[in-house]
Amino acid sequence: MDYFPQPVLGVETSCDETSVAVLYRREVLSNVVSSQAQLHKRWGGIVPEAAARKHTEAFLPVLEQALDEAGVTMDDIGGVGVTNRPGLIGALSVGVSAAKAVAFARGLPFVGVHHLEAHVLSPLLEEDVPFPHVCLLVSGGHTELFFVRSPGVYEYLGGTLDDAAGEAFDKSARALGLPYPGGPAIQKAAEGGDPERYPLPRGLEDPTMEFSFSGLKTAVLRLVQRLGDRLDVASAAASFQSVVASVLTDRALYACSVVGVSHLTVVGGVAANRALRERLLQQAEEERVSVTIPSLRLCTDNAAMIAHVASWRLASGERAGYDLETLAVDSLGRR
Ligand code: KG4
Ligand code: ZN
C-alpha cells in the first residue's frame, strides 16, 4: 500500500467513541480516543441522540489533544479522512461535518472511510500482513468473516444471522447483572469461574461460516431466571465466554480452510477478549494458521485505523466532495 506523503488527520465518530488521530505514512503519531461508555452505562446500551450530542462536545478538545500529542499543528496536515459509513447517523454526521469544516477551512483533500474496511486493514498498521488472508471482524455491531484478497478487494464469507458477538457480550452481561460494556465486564467476572459448569448452546451446527448468538443470549437469561441467587455468576460468565471463544475460533479457522489461506487476522472490540485470543492462538497453531491480532488500542474503535485507510486512498487519488453523505447501513464485500 502506498501512503499519502503528508500527515493525515483521521476522524471517527460512528458509535460511542470520539476519536482523532494523526498518521504519517504508516506511523501513528497520535490516536486519541474519548469513550462515552460511562455516559451510556446508565442506560445499559448506546442511546443514539446522547451519543451525537457527546461527539459535538468532545470533538474539538479531542482534535486539539491529537495535534498536541503528535507534535504537529494544522499547518502540517496534508489530508483528512472521516468515517462516513456505516454507523449511527447522528453520530456519523458530527464527525463528517467536523471533517468537512476542517478540510474546507484549510483547503485540504479529504475522503470518506468505510468503518469496516478500516477495521479489516488495521493490522497493517503494526505488521506486514500477507495477502490474501481471512479477517474475522468481531465488534459491538458486527460479526463477519471476510476473504481479504488485497487492500480494497474483500469477499464476504459469512456473518451473524442475529446478534453480533459484542452485542451478545453486552446483553448477556446485562442479564448477569454486570455493567456495560459487557465484554470487559464478562472477562473480569469470568476469572475464577468454571467454564464447564453451565453447558450453553453454540447456535448453529458446525462446520459453518455463519454465526447465531441469540439462542446463547436467551440461554444465559433462562439460567439467571431459573437459578436466581443460586447462580454462580463467575461460572456463568466463564461458560458464556468459552462458548463464544470456541465458536469464533472454529468458524474463523474453518473459513481459512475453505478459501485455502494460512493467515488470519482478528479485529474489532471483541478481539480484545483474552479467552478468545488464547484459544485462537493455540488452535491456529495446531492447524498451521498464523494469526495477527492488533494491539488493544487498534482493536476497539479508533481514528488511527480511519487515517490509515484515508492515507492510502488519498495517495491513490481519491477525493470526496463537500456533499459527502453518511450511511447507516453499508455492507462490505457482498455481491
Ligand atoms: O469495535 P468496538 O469498539 O465498537 C464497535 O464498532 O462495535 O467494539 C465494542 C464491543 C462491545 O460490544 C464490547 O463489549 C466488546 O467490543 N468488547 C469486548 C472486550 N472489550 C470490548 N468483548 C469481549 N471481551 C473484551 N475484553
Ligand atoms: Zn468498530
Domains 8-120+298-315 and 129-293 equal at CATH topology level? yes
Calculate the alpha carbon distances from 214 to 92, 223, 235, 253, 315 in Å. Answer: 27, 14, 20, 22, 42
Instruction: Using alpha carbons, select from 33, 110, 5, 6 the residue that is nearest to residue 305.
Output: 33
- Ligand 1 pocket mutation pick from 33, 247, 300 by most atoms within 8 angstroms of CB: 300
The 8-class DSSP code of residue 44 comes to: T
Tell me the fold of 8-120+298-315: Nucleotidyltransferase; domain 5 (3.30.420)
CA of 165 to the centre of ligand 1 (A): 8
Residue 72 has what pLDDT? 98
Average pLDDT, the chain: 96
Q: Which ligand is nearest to the CA of 270?
A: 1
Residue 44 has what pLDDT? 75
Residue 303 has what pLDDT? 98
How is domain 129-293 classified at the architecture level of CATH? 2-Layer Sandwich (3.30)
Q: What does the domain layout of the chain look like in residue ranges?
A: 8-120+298-315, 129-293
> Which tens digit of pLDDT belongs to each residue from 246-279?
999 999 999 999 999 999 999 999 999 999 999 9
Model pTM? 0.95
Given a contact cutoff of 8 angstroms between Cβ atoms, the answer to whether 86 and 116 are in contact is yes
Given a contact cutoff of 8 angstroms between Cβ atoms, the answer to whether 289 and 279 are in contact is no
CA of 329 to the centre of ligand 2 (A): 13
> Which tens digit of pLDDT belongs to each residue from 299-329?
999 999 999 999 999 999 999 999 999 999 9
Q: Does 45 have pLDDT greater than 80?
A: no
Residue 49 has what pLDDT? 86
Strand pairing report for 8-12 and 17-24 = antiparallel
